[in-house]
Amino acid sequence: MKLPVYLDYNATTPIDPQVADAIEPYLREHFGNPSSDHVYGRRAKETVIRARQEVAALIGAIPEEIIFTGCATEANNLAIHGIARALWPSKRHLITSAVEHPSVMRPFLRLRDEGWSVTILPVNGDGRVEPAAVVRNLRDDTALISVMHANNETGAVQPIAEIAAIAQLHGILLHTDAAQSVGKITVNVDRLKIDLLTLAGHKFYAAKGVGALYIRQGTPCLPPITVGANHERGMRPGTENVPALVGMGAAARLAHERLASEEPRIAILRDRLYQHLQRSIPDLALNGPSNDRLPNTLNVSFPGVNGRDLLKAAASDIAASVGSACHTEKGSAASGVLTAMALPAERIAGAVRLSLGTPTTHADIDHAAQALTAAWRSLSK
């Protein structure tokens, strides 16, 4: 059976064949525990060290600043709860944005329930935080600002460098969830002046169930969420998932090597898809910024139809998403991201997220555009 064109790379990516090849020996002969003091353990430990070096190189960090986790959700929780615990009670205020992933928003809401003051910044019509809004909401007791680097639904890239400059001027720590941006655009922690940054392996062709948290040297020591042995400098106890870390390191190395050529190639394909749809569908609306956006992400609203119904009609030809998992099965729940952008209800209802990846071809794009157009026409009759 021929599978539909996959355009849901912001949800997850396939494991790159080179990454799978790198992982395979560590599922079989190289099975040692990195804490064991014999040849099997030493080999595993060396492998983890190499993976840490490769992940660090991808974001311009040093290996000692990388803490491996089980996923980006865990990394976000470690960053947010860790800073809150480290700085309480001298600091009592936190800032985030209205378009964050639940793995950021829900820790903030939990901390609010525990007595922290939490400011949720609005976004403009492009889904971006205005740096001036950050300045207006600073307090003497602000501990942390957490704003995602790029949005998972619209691809909007936030002005993190400007926000970091504000945070640094006022002595406030900055965390960014970069799960969607790392591997798609250049992310350099020194140029961005970020204190903490979250990565997700399965967003750049590694396996699911592995992530990392970058913690700039000099950042207050984060109390662990779970306690145990002294793995990952005591911040993330538990025996390392060596095969997954091997894969994340290999994927980071490949992303580093390919980024300069892959970023413009993907952007060309994304724009080709948008142009096809624009020509065929009157009043098609782009959601999010036209420029400050991930090269692989196209979020558009199809007029007069429901986005979920559209994707069901085209399901034999294309696999894509309406966006956030907060949409219910019947499509009755509005996207929190598009709602925060103050888009009209009918535009939100017709929204579809199309996200491209390394395997995407020109033929895939042309086929997807035809399928989406045909589905829209059938539903518009």
**Residues known to be catalytic:** 326
Token pair listed for 113: 């329930």
* Neighbouring residues of 194: CB distance < 8 A, sequence distance ≥ 6: 160, 164, 174, 175, 176, 214, 216
CA distance linking residue 220 with residue 196, whole number of Å: 11
Do the beta carbons of residue 353 and residue 321 sit within 8 Å?
Answer: yes
- Nearest alpha-carbon partner for 47 in 22, 64, 72, 69: 22
Residue 330: count other Cβ atoms within 10 Å of its Cβ.
9
Looking at the DSSP bridge assignments, the partners of residue 285 are 301
Q: Which of 71, 116, 69 has the alpha carbon at shortest distance from 96? A: 116
Burial 262-300 (b: 16+ CB within 10 A, else e): bbeebbebbeebbebbeeebeebebbbbeeebbbbbbbb
Per the listing, tokens 């309406």 go with 322
In the 8-state DSSP scheme, what is residue 26? Answer: G
Q: How far apart are CA 131 and CA 347, in angstroms?
A: 27
Number of Cβ within a 10 Å radius of residue 381: 4
